[in-house]
Chains A and B, each alone.
Chain A
Amino acid sequence: MTTTRKRPGAEKAPAKPTPKRASTRRKAAPADDEPRIRDPLELEAALEAAPGDESLRPETTRPEFYGFDIVPPPDRPPQTEREREVYTLGDGEMLVNMGPQHPSTHGVMRLVLKVRGEVVIDLDPVLGYLHRGIEKLCENATYTTVLTYVDPMDYMSAMHNEHAPALAFEKLYGIKAPRRAEYIRALVVELNRVFSHGLMMGFLALDLGGLTPILYGFINRDQVVDLLSSISGQRMLFNFFRVGGVNFDVNDEFLSRLGKWRAGVLDTIEMNEKILTENEIFGARTKGLGVLTAKDAISLGVTGPNLRASGVPFDVRKAHPYPPYPELEFDVITQQGGDTYARYMQRVAELKQSIHLIDQIVDRMPHGPVQAQVPGIIRPKPGRAYAAIESPRGLYSVYAISDGGPNPYRFRMRDPSFITLQVMPKLMPGHLIADTMAVMASLDPIMGGVDK
């Protein structure tokens, strides 16, 4: 029997502190003959008939009140220094919106480019189109439910999204997952990394105009996703991790699919590589583009393949190892150069490294249970915990605070794509609009993670 936690005295946890409540007296509803909402067409017609008549606008639409005001057009004065810098147009410059609806931004994101002709002078990313308030939502969910809410953050690497919270909650609760669970976790996490990096190759090519590599990437992804669905039941948002282990053990179907996939994966990846790695046009478009120096990368908080492509050997699996990585043999790969091509080569190399890791994991997987005995709703003691893992996009970490209740008091996720986006305004000035997409794709952000 692995770690079981019995509380001394088995006291019931007191309720979590609630904010001070005044009386819940409701204000009287408006009388029936008063209009509650004015018909918008009627309002529009009335305003058209009497333009400039301010009395038609409700009092509370003035800025000092709360409201659902939407972003006005850019004619409002800039609020901050940086905003003034970006939105002030010089001679011959114009603002082009690579808008939220765009075939090529990696989700819904708006990039406001200040361009002079084709050359980008400055860039301002506008985020929040996919903000779902997951952090706040998790404050009302039990610890196990939180693990289902975090999946759709960085939807391309859902297993990683679950891994960090599971580790943080285990630290809060004071248990460790059994060894077999750790190995299974590492297995699915590396599988996830394989298809995420494989798809990045496709996204990069697609943004550059090559239509084929993404379809080859999806061949690989389909196989891996079928594999993961046979173990977790889901194809994309896996809901596989639990506090204290994983949900299911490997089964026969999983193992047979794993064998078949492993036999063919290197060929599939090579098929993709052949089109891209030595392609003259691909090289001309990516080599020397968007060079990120190591110093800049560290200062900007970039992690993951982007950082390692600039030469800094920082990998969370080696820097703050979490089990089972101390027992697996692998090196930290880096590239020199820090340009788009280096970031691409870094991901290809890491993809192959992940396949190597998967081989080791399958070799060394121990026997044992796959989930520690934890109650359905866990109530960890008050405390704080921080857990960081290496996701395909960088350092993904969770900072969780528990107050003794069934829900986390504060659940904070640090998503790597969010921080990596800060690199764009630094790298882009001086390049062409077409390069914006290439650099963006090489940084491989996923908007679900950026916007939480």
Chain B
Amino acid sequence: MAKNVEYKVLQGLDYPPAKRAEAGDVVSDLPKDAISWLLADGVIALVGKTLPEEVEPEIEHEVEVENLASIAEDDLFAEEEEVDGV
């Protein structure tokens, strides 16, 4: 399960339910609807986020390797055909 996005507070703010964050605080429970305007006004800044655990990068790499190999072979044959044509 993904963790909430964390934001650094640059300007003091109050948010529901009856919470207060001062400049310098890092919070992850801001109301979702408020985040866009708080970012636009420079009231908060994105700190970072944790990716979901379901992501398995190894599978993506294998797919990329196969594609690259295929492309390389095609390119090689194409070059040979051009040479023959000349």
Q: Do A and B bind each other?
A: no
